[in-house]
Amino acid sequence: MGALMQLGRVRVTALSSLSAGAGYLLCGSGPDLSLLGVMLGTGLMAAGASALNQVQEREFDARMERTRTRPLPSGRISVAMALAISLLWLLSGAALLALFGGPGVVALGVLAAALYNALYTPLKRVTAFAVLPGSAIGALPPAMGWLAASGSLTDPRILALMGFFVIWQIPHFWLLVLCYGRDYERGGFPTVIQRLGTGGTVRVTVIWILATGVAGLLVPLLGALSGGPGRLLLAVSSVALGALAVGMLWPAKDEVRRFRRVFVALNSFALLLLVLVVTERFAGQI
């Protein structure tokens, strides 16, 4: 079971499912069977794409300290088994999305998997800036939930939520590079540190974190979050995140530890945003 959870990257899958659920509820639909079906379908497709990614990168994962214990490089799951599991998850997820969301939602799910496995994964071995086009993947789960609830993808509320996740993914990845840059290089991946240096990477990452905070504030401003307390909590969290990010510009005794702390804060901010949107739809204004 542990190997399967690693193969499907449960935390990433859960975030994709939650963002799809937030998109569904944001459109005005209440919690129902379709919500569960869309969330589970999105999660299964994300897990399937993750499993396929690990098949694609198994040789590179074996070279890196942080990934060498994954199921494929450690030998706990064979390549053939991982491919079969990936296909099962992808097909099951697509079937659920077809049943509870419709063909448009399935198309977005297939697009997300294609962008991840056919564009982003090979592009990471070519350029240190693969995350820039790859960040578009983050916009698709909330769009899938919104479309499943019969929403228009031109609505500013869903565009704000989609835009937030596009921007968030860039500092999310570059903070990982700051923490594990040498590991990525041992794995054969070009890193932004090789292009900009550690100082330049820190400065660029700080800018993207600040942009993430601003993008988070645009979500309530464009109507996706209306409760006063929720807006206040999001604003305070945005300022705190920005302060942590700016603090990266000054030297520290243990810079990697600080990068990890900001990484956790950045992900917590994204999770907070989703929880506020979902909670407001469940309980009215918070």
**Tens-place pLDDT, residues 112-161:** 999 999 999 999 999 999 999 999 999 999 999 999 999 999 999 999 99
At 223, is the pLDDT very low, low, confident or very high (cuts 50, 70, 90)? confident
Tell me how far apart the alpha carbons of residues 101 and 248 are, in angstroms, rounded to a whole number: 43
User: What is the C-alpha separation between 256 and 262, in angstroms, rounded?
Assistant: 10
Mean pLDDT score of the chain, rounded to an integer? 94
Domains, the chain, in order of start with CATH, read 1-149 (1.10.357.140), 154-286 (1.20.120)
Tokens of residue 192, six digits: 């932004």
- What pLDDT sits at residue 280? 86
| Confidence (pLDDT) at 284 | 56
pLDDT classification of 286: cutoffs 50, 70, 90: very low
Residue-wise pLDDT for 14-66, tens only, equals 999 999 999 999 987 678 899 999 999 999 999 999 999 999 999 999 999 99
Mean predicted confidence (pLDDT) in 162-178:
97
90-111 average pLDDT score: 97
Instruction: Supply the Cα-derived Rg of the chain in whole angstroms.
Output: 19
Confidence band of 285 (pLDDT split at 50, 70, 90): very low
- Please tell me the distance from the alpha carbon of residue 14 to that of residue 27, in angstroms, as a whole number: 20
How crowded is residue 247: how many other Cβ atoms within 10 Å of its Cβ?
13
Query: How far apart, in whole angstroms, are the C-alpha atoms of residue 86 and residue 187?
Result: 23
Stretch 242-247: mean pLDDT: 97
Let me know the angle formed at the C-alpha of 129 by 116 and 272, rounded to the nearest 5 degrees.
65
pLDDT band, residue 257 (cuts 50/70/90) = very high
Cβ atoms of 71 and 51 closer than 8 Å? no
CA 61/CA 49 separation, integer angstroms: 16
pLDDT digits (tens, 9 = 90+) for 258-269: 999 999 999 999
Q: How many residues does the chain have?
A: 286
- Arithmetic mean of pLDDT, 203-213: 98
For residue 282, what pLDDT band results from cuts at 50, 70 and 90? confident
